[in-house]
C-alpha cells in the first residue's frame, strides 16, 4: 500500500494519506480529507510502499492535487483569518472574558473556523460562540492551548540565539524531565534550563540518549584504573566529548597531577598492550651428560661399578681362643 506525508503548517505534524491513483510527488500541494473537513497541505514525503499491518489507523484519501484555483482559495482564507481575528478580539473585550486570543484558522472549505486562545483557568465562552456563529454563519470552535503551544504559534528566539525549535521544525513535543538536566550535570537554576514558554527546554531531550549511552561506557568519578603502569583515579568525566580527567602521581601529601585523556584512545592502548606476548625470561640450561668423554679433560665415570657400600668381611680365626 502506498502512502504520502502531508503537512498543513510550516512546523506542524506530518499526517499520512492514501494517494490512491493520483500522480503526486513531494513538493506538490494537495487537497485531502480530514476529520475537520477538506484541508490544503504541502506534500513533504513522496509516495512510498508500506505493509498494511504497519498502519495504526485507517488512512484518509487524497481528494486531488491542488490546482491554481485551490491555491487562490487558500490565499483568500488567510485574509479571512485576519478579519476573524479582529472581530473575535472585539467580542472578547465586549464580554469581559479573561482569555487571550492567539490564532485563527479556516478550513479549506470554510466549513469551520477554529479560534485558539490561552487562559489561566476555565472560561465560559458560550455567549461568545453564539455571537461569532451569528456573524460568520458557520461552525465555530474555541480551543484552549497551553504555554508550549503558544510559543509554537507565536515563535521567537531561544537562549542559543536561534529560532525556536518548536516554531521552526519540530512537529511534536517530546516529554522533558528534570532528571535529564541532572544526568547532563546542568545547573538546576530554572532561568537557565527553561525556554521562553517557562517550561524545561526541549533541547534537553536531544542529547539525553548520548548521555545515557556514555554513562554505560565511561568510568564513574572516583573509580580507579591503571594509566602508564601507575594507579590513577578518575577526577572528572565529560560525557559529551567522551574524555575523562585522571588524577595521577598522587602522594600522601595530597599532591597530584591532572590530565585529560580520550577514553576511547585509552581503551585502544590497553587492548594493544594486552595483545602483546609477554617477554619470557631465559631459562637455565640443563646439564647434559657428556656422551664423548675422550674429547674432554674430565675423567669418565665408571658406569659398571656398584656404588652401594658393602659391609667388610670378618677375618677368620680372630675370635677363636
- Residue 38 CA to residue 63 CA, distance in Å, equals 8
Range of the domain at 161: 150-206
The pLDDT, as a whole number, for residue 321 is 43
> What is the rounded CA–CA span in Å between residue 125 and residue 140?
11
Rg (CA), the chain: 43
Task: State whether 223 and 264 are in the same domain.
Answer: yes
| Statement to judge: residues 35 and 22 lie in one domain | yes
Domain edge (last residue) among 206, 235, 253: 206
Does any domain span residue 282?
Answer: no
Residue 310 within any structural domain of the chain: no
Q: Say if 12 falls within a structural domain.
A: yes
Phi, psi (deg, nearest 5) at residue 285: -70, 135
Which residue, 116, 145, 174, sits at the end of a domain?
145
Asked if residue 158 belongs to a domain, the reply is yes
Please name the helix (run of DSSP H) or strand (run of DSSP E) that holds residue 63, with its range, or none.
Answer: strand 60-65
Per-residue pLDDT at 212 = 92
| Residue 120 forms part of a structural domain | yes
pLDDT of residue 120: 87
Residues 230 and 174 in one domain: no
State the cell numbers at 318: 680372630
In this structure, what DSSP letter does residue 293 have?
A: G
CATH number for position 120: 3.30.300
Closest listed residue to residue 223, CA positions, set 245, 254, 256: 245
Q: Has residue 247 been placed in a domain?
A: yes
Report the domain count for the chain.
4
**Distance between CA 219 and CA 244 in Å, rounded?**
8
pLDDT value of residue 231:
86
Per-residue burial over 245-254, b if 16 or more Cβ lie within 10 Å, else e, is bbbbeeeeee
Query: What does the DSSP 8-state code read for residue 298?
Result: S
**What's the predicted TM-score (pTM) here?**
0.69
The verdict on 235 and 270 lying in the same domain is yes
> Using CA atoms in the order 165, 166, 169, 170, what is the torsion angle rounded to 10 degrees?
110
Contact 146, 153 (CB under 8 A): no
Is residue 87 within 8 Å of residue 114, measured between CB atoms? no
User: Do residues 84 and 139 share a domain?
Assistant: yes
Query: 138 and 160 in one domain?
Result: no
Q: Do residue 139 and residue 181 come from a single domain?
A: no
Residue 294 is assigned to a structural domain of this protein:
no
Assigned domain for 311 exists: no
Calpha distance 58→158 (Å, rounded): 38
Q: Are 117 and 144 in contact (CB under 8 A)?
A: yes
Profile the chain (321 residues) by mean pLDDT over runs of 10 residues: 88 88 90 89 89 82 92 94 94 92 92 92 90 93 92 90 90 90 90 92 92 91 87 90 88 80 85 63 54 51 54 57 43
Chosen domain end from 23, 50, 66: 66
Amino acid at each position: 500500500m502506498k502512502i504520502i506525508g502531508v503537512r498543513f503548517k510550516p512546523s506542524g505534524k506530518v499526517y499520512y494519506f492514501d494517494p490512491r491513483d493520483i500522480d503526486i510527488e513531494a513538493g506538490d500541494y494537495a487537497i485531502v480529507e480530514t476529520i475537520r473537513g477538506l484541508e490544503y497541505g504541502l506534500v513533504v514525503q513522496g509516495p512510498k510502499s508500506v505493509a498494511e499491518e504497519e498502519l495504526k489507523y485507517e488512512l484518509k484519501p487524497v481528494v486531488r492535487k491542488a490546482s491554481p484555483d485551490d491555491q487562490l482559495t487558500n490565499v483568500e482564507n488567510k485574509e479571512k483569518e485576519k478579519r476573524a481575528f479582529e472581530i473575535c478580539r472585539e467580542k472578547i473585550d465586549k464580554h469581559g472574558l479573561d482569555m487571550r486570543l492567539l490564532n485563527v484558522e479556516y478550513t479549506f472549505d470554510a466549513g469551520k473556523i477554529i479560534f485558539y486562545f490561552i487562559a489561566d483557568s476555565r472560561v465560559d465562552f458560550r455567549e461568545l460562540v453564539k455571537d461569532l456563529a451569528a456573524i460568520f454563519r458557520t461552525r465555530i470552535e474555541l480551543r484552549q492551548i497551553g504555554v508550549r503551544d503558544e510559543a509554537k504559534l507565536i515563535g521567537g528566539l531561544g537562549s542559543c540565539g536561534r529560532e525556536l525549535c518548536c516554531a521552526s521544525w519540530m512537529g511534536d513535543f517530546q516529554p522533558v524531565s528534570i532528571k535529564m538536566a541532572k544526568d547532563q550535570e546542568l545547573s538546576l537554576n530554572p532561568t537557565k534550563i527553561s525556554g521562553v514558554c517557562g517550561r524545561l527546554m526541549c533541547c534537553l531531550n536531544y542529547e539525553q540518549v548520548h548521555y545515557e549511552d556514555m554513562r554505560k561506557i565511561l568510568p564513574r568519578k572516583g573509580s580507579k584504573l591503571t594509566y602508564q603502569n601507575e594507579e590513577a583515579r578518575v577526577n572528572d568525566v565529560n560525557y559529551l566529548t567522551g574524555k575523562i580527567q585522571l588524577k595521577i602521581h598522587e602522594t600522601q601529601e595530597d599532591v597530584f597531577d591532572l590530565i585529560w585523556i580520550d577514553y576511547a584512545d585509552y581503551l585502544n592502548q590497553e587492548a594493544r598492550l594486552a595483545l602483546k606476548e609477554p617477554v619470557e625470561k631465559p631459562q637455565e640450561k640443563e646439564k647434559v651428560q657428556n656422551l664423548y668423554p675422550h674429547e674432554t679433560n674430565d675423567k669418565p665415570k665408571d658406569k659398571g661399578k656398584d656404588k652401594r657400600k658393602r659391609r667388610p668381611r670378618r677375618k677368620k680365626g680372630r675370635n677363636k681362643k
